[in-house]
């Protein structure tokens, strides 16, 4: 693939190093001359001394033929502008932006960035999963986080334990994909009984995930 990367700092440098072994065509932009020389000498790839929004330079490298445009500078506004320029002016199909402030993720996505990545947000999610001892955690987000895959460990104290799926009213927009019981993977149907120790994989909309958690965490009535 033809990949254009804006930003040759630490994030950009190690991103480039990880991509080179896969034989991609890579061109890098950075406004700092010393960084450009370092990348060009150490990684032996084309490096343009510029800010990644110079239309003439982007045209010369053939950005319209790029498969992916990645902006990983330390400034959110620069990453956003660069991605918008690549998509709107050059028709790049896939844009990825580093987001330093996680509050900007939604803004980036609404303004056309295909993937907005925040290391702060990722770490926060991991911490929340580690401290959550309820037995429910997020294992994957799809479609820009609109769909969430959730892992649920069923306990004997949960109200859903020992019930058939047909007798359980799941929240709207929630689907049970599979049940892992010991070493067996079960594709559930209405007559599948949920047992203590089961690991349930469920898919929900982002808005309904909390409702799903609350539903599964209900305790048995004594």
pLDDT at residue 130 is higher than 80: no
CA distance 166 to 188: 10
pLDDT at 132 over 60: no
Tell me how far the alpha carbon of residue 75 is from its chain's centroid: 20
Q: Hey, what CATH class is 133-216 in? A: alpha beta
pLDDT, residue 7, reads 95
Angle between helices 33-43 and 10-19 (to 10 degrees): 20
User: Facing residues of 193 across strands?
Assistant: 164
Residue range 63-72: average pLDDT? Answer: 96
Q: How much is the pTM?
A: 0.65
Domain 2-121 sits in CATH 3.40.50.720 = yes
Q: Among candidates 110, 47, 49, 104, which has minimal Cα distance to 75?
A: 104
3-39 per-position pLDDT tens digit: 999 999 999 999 999 999 999 999 999 999 999 999 9
pLDDT of residue 123: 62
Confidence of residue 172 (pLDDT cuts 50, 70, 90): confident
Domain range list for the chain: 2-121, 133-216
Given a cut of 60, is residue 129 above it in pLDDT?
Answer: no
User: Can you tell me which residue has the tokens 């609350």?
Assistant: 214
Over residues 82-108, the pLDDT tens digits come to: 999 999 999 999 999 999 888 888 899
The confidence score (pLDDT) of residue 210 equals: 82
- Tell me the mean pLDDT in the region 158-184: 88
C-alpha 55/C-alpha 63 separation (Å) is 10
Q: What is the CA radius of gyration of the chain?
A: 23
Amino acid 88: pLDDT: 94
* pLDDT at residue 217, rounded to an integer: 77
In this prediction, residue 127 carries a pLDDT of 58
């Amino acid at each position: 693939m033809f990949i254009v990367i804006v930003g040759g700092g630490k994030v950009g440098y190690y991103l480039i190093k990880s991509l080179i072994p896969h034989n991609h065509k890579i061109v890098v932009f950075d406004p700092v001359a010393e960084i450009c020389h370092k990348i060009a000498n150490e990684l032996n790839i084309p490096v343009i001394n510029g800010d990644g929004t110079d239309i003439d330079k982007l045209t010369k490298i053939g950005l319209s033929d790029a498969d992916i445009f990645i902006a990983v500078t330390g400034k959110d506004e620069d990453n956003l502008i660069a991605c918008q320029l690549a998509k709107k002016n050059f028709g790049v199909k896939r844009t990825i932006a580093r987001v330093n402030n996680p509050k900007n993720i939604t803004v980036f996505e609404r303004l056309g960035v295909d993937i907005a990545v925040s290391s702060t947000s990722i770490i926060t999610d991991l911490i929340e999963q580690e401290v959550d001892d309820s037995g429910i955690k997020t294992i994957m987000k799809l479609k820009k986080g609109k769909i969430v895959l959730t892992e649920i460990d069923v306990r004997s104290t949960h109200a859903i334990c020992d019930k058939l799926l047909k007798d359980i009213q799941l929240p709207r927009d929630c689907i049970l994909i599979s049940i892992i019981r010991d070493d067996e993977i079960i594709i559930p149907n209405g007559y599948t009984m949920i047992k203590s120790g089961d690991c349930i994989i469920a898919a929900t909309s982002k808005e309904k995930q909390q409702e799903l958690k609350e539903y599964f965490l209900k305790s048995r009535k004594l």
